[in-house]
């Protein structure tokens, strides 16, 4: 029985000829991501900013947005951000932190339930105080940093230092572009977004390790071809696997985006972005570094050294 293939066998695409364009392109995107982070900022969820998040469903099938927005002034609890999602009857209400601690948060939720009445079904209620949100910010940031350092240390010991440098640069590239994605789209950045970033880092490093392993194998097998040709040969060898992996993960995430609900929407969309970024960086960012750092096969390096010796004599 013939197996399903999303890419033809024995491809001979010259990936390395695009390295002079991929680096400037990625540099521009990385700079734009940093600019967007400082100008637009992140749309922090209540996990990090504190406050109250309530999801309602109108029993009549049509939510009255104006009425819900007016509850903030009517109840004197501050401005309420009201946003529809899913069906026309689904609404999310978001309030800022309330003075008075946890008791004030609970009292505010009780006021809203009384004011809304029986016309809406409360499907989700979350409240986080300022102290808890601050601890989550510190814990989330620390978790990301420690995880990245641990993985990069593993890469440093697993591969030669030139290979590790390529993987490190590709990982930093993916992190910057993911942060820029959250800043541009203004998706809610919460604890599930931290999980998405860590998963993207893992996916990107997995793709990079697969390609680097094949390059190291090809270096032992083909000792007389140029580094660029050897890298192209290695990438083409793993291309069917790369396309199959990216396609299956993308289809699974697409199902989560369409049917997973609002709670994991930011996670699913960020992961879909991470698939493209991680696959792109493993081919066009990680591997060209080997050329610029002068990685050569043993026979080629010996031949170059012999030629240099003869020229000196």
**Distant-in-sequence, close-in-space partners of 213: CB < 8 Å, separation ≥ 6:** none
Q: Is the dihedral of CA 76, 77, 78, 84 positive or negative?
A: negative
The pLDDT of residue 35 is: 92
Please write the tens of the pLDDT for every residue from 15-51: 888 888 888 999 999 999 999 989 988 887 766 666 7
The pLDDT of residue 3 is: 57
Indicate which CATH number applies to the domain containing 75. Answer: 3.30.70.3400
Domain termination site, one of 128, 162, 197 = 128
Is residue 153 domain-shared with residue 180, that is, in the same domain?
Answer: yes
Is residue 165 domain-shared with residue 24, that is, in the same domain?
Answer: yes
Domain hosting residue 120, numbered range? 51-128
Is residue 199 domain-shared with residue 68, that is, in the same domain?
Answer: no
If one counts every other C-beta atom within 10 angstroms of the C-beta of residue 44, the result is: 17
Of the ranges 61-70, 111-120, 242-251, the best mean pLDDT one: 242-251
Domain termination site, one of 75, 104, 128 = 128
Please write the tens of the pLDDT for every residue from 226-246: 888 888 888 888 888 888 888
pLDDT at residue 8 is higher than 70 = no
Q: Which two structure tokens, joined as six digits, stand for 68?
A: 């819900």
In which band, very low, low, confident or very high, does the pLDDT at 268 lie, cut at 50, 70 and 90? confident
Number of compact structural domains in the chain: 2
Domain termination site, one of 128, 150, 178 = 128
């Amino acid at each position: 029985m013939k197996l399903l293939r999303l890419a033809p066998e024995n491809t001979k695409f010259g990936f390395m000829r695009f390295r002079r364009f991929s680096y400037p392109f990625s540099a521009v995107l990385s700079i734009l991501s940093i600019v967007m982070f400082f100008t637009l900022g992140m749309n922090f969820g209540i996990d990090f900013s504190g406050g109250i998040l309530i999801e309602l469903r109108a029993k009549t099938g049509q939510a009255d947005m104006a009425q819900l927005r007016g509850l903030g002034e009517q109840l004197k609890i501050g401005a309420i951000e009201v946003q529809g999602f899913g069906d026309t009857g689904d609404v999310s209400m978001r309030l800022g932190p309330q003075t008075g601690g946890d008791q004030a948060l609970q009292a505010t939720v009780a006021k809203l339930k009384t004011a809304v009445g029986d016309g809406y079904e409360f499907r989700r209620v979350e409240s986080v105080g300022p102290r808890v949100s601050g601890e989550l910010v510190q814990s989330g940031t620390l978790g990301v940093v420690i995880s990245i350092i641990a993985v990069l240390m593993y890469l440093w010991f697993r591969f030669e230092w030139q290979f590790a440098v390529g993987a490190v640069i590709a990982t930093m590239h993916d992190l910057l572009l993911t942060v820029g994605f959250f800043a541009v789209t203004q998706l809610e950045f919460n604890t599930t977004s931290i999980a998405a970033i860590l998963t993207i880092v893992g996916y990107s490093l997995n793709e990079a390790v697969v390609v680097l392993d094949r390059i190291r194998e090809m270096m032992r097998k083909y000792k007389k071809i140029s580094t660029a040709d050897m890298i192209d040969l290695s990438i083409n060898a793993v291309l069917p696997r790369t396309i199959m992996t990216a396609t299956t993960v993308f289809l699974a995430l697409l199902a989560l985006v369409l049917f997973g609900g609002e709670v994991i929407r930011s996670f699913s969309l960020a992961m879909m972005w991470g698939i493209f970024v991680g696959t792109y960086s493993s081919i066009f960012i990680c591997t060209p570094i080997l050329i610029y750092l002068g990685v050569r096969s043993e026979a080629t390096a010996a031949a170059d050294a012999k030629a240099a010796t003869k020229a000196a004599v």
